């Protein structure tokens, strides 16, 4: 009986260790943001710091996530925004080529999302441009909260 209990504990401990390792890997690779306001208008969805080499960030979006447009605000240093992938509730994806520099304390153009849709994830690829102070850029992702469409 004691050996059975010990074997079960080892399995539970192994499962817990695997779960912790997987969660650690996921949390390092992506950020999860929960939007708590359903008011119309622009809302900050998430933010990150850009490295000096090419970088890729994933922002998972939960809660009130129906947006018609998105944009980026940049501070501390300029960036080059290369590519953008926007994922929607039903697994659909838009791949948007940006290839644009954004100055420090500047904004990207407004990126329309072809209607009011539930956004589940945004992946953006960018890099900090060289600057005098070797500062890393801070980037905020903003979404235009849109009303739900009537069926």
Residue 55 lies in a domain: yes
> Domain of 82: which CATH number?
2.60.120
| pLDDT for 70 beyond 90 | yes
Domain membership of residue 136 (yes or no) is yes
Q: Is residue 131 part of a domain?
A: yes
Residue 7 lies in a domain: no
pLDDT class for 87, splitting at 50, 70, 90? very high
Number of domains in the chain: 1
Collect all residues with Cβ–Cβ distance below 8 Å to 106 and sequence separation of at least 6.
73, 74, 78
What is the model's pLDDT at position 2?
54
Residue 113 is assigned to a structural domain of this protein: yes
pLDDT value at position 24? 40
Instruction: Domain of residue 110: give its range.
Output: 30-145
Question: Looking at residue 87, what DSSP letter applies?
Answer: E
Instruction: Supply the pLDDT for residue 22.
Output: 41
Nearest Cα neighbor of 76 from 59, 95, 51, 54 is: 51
| 12 lies in some domain | no
* 106-148 pLDDT per residue, tens: 999 999 997 778 899 999 898 877 777 778 889 999 999 876 6
Query: What is the token pair recorded at 116?
Result: 């009011």
């Amino acid at each position: 009986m004691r050996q059975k209990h010990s074997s079960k504990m080892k399995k539970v401990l192994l499962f817990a260790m695997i779960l912790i390792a997987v969660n650690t890997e996921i949390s390092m690779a992506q950020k999860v943001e929960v939007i708590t306001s359903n008011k119309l208008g622009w809302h900050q969805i998430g933010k990150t710091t850009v490295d000096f080499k090419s970088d890729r960030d994933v922002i998972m979006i939960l809660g009130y996530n129906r947006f018609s447009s998105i944009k980026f605000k940049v501070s501390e240093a300029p960036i080059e925004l290369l590519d953008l992938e926007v994922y929607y509730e039903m697994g659909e994806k838009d791949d948007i080529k940006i290839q644009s520099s954004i100055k420090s304390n500047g904004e990207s153009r407004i990126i329309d999302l072809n209607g009011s849709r539930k956004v589940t994830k945004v992946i953006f690829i960018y890099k900090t441009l060289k600057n005098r102070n070797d500062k890393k850029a801070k980037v905020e992702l903003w979404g235009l909260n849109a009303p739900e469409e009537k069926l």
